[in-house]
Amino acid sequence: MGRSAAVRDEMIAMWRQGLTYEQIGRAYGMTGKGAYAYVHYKPRKQPPDCIYPGLRDWLDRHGTRAELYGGAGFRCSRKVFYGKLRGGSPLTLGDIRRIIRYTGETFEQLFGEGGAGG
């Protein structure tokens, strides 16, 4: 949306004072629909890039999901791979083996409850 949170707060205050969306929009050089969008904007919650804490820690330290996808030699589409990391479908045993081979970490470090190792 490009405008500051302070501007959005001002617009909300104007709306609460009874101004129409058209009036608010004119004050900020936009349409009434634009003002409505700012007043009622709610950011979407983004799902985590990876539901496996140890693997997520490893990615934070060593690279990106794209690098893991290419380096580990996944054969599925990138979209399917990213979905698996987000928990959309489970990783297969073959997927886990590829990740372990590529990262050099253990199963426990990447997928266990203890988190990433070194």
* Model confidence pLDDT, tens digit, residues 36-82: 988 888 766 555 789 999 999 999 888 889 999 999 999 999 999 99
Spatial distance between the Cα atoms of 106 and 109, rounded to a whole number of angstroms: 5
**64 and 92 housed in the same domain:** yes
Count of positions (residues) in the chain: 118
Range of the domain at 78: 53-111
CA distance 90 to 74: 14
Confidence (pLDDT) at 41: 81
28 in the same domain as 60 = no
Tell me, yes or no, whether 116 lies in a domain.
no
d(CA 96, CA 104): 12
Q: Are residues 59 and 95 in the same domain?
A: yes
pLDDT-based confidence at residue 6 (cuts at 50, 70, 90): confident
User: 15: which 2 tokens?
Assistant: 């709306």
pLDDT tens-digit readout, 8-29: 889 999 999 999 999 999 999 9
Burial of 38 (0-12, 13-18, 19+ CB in 10 A): buried
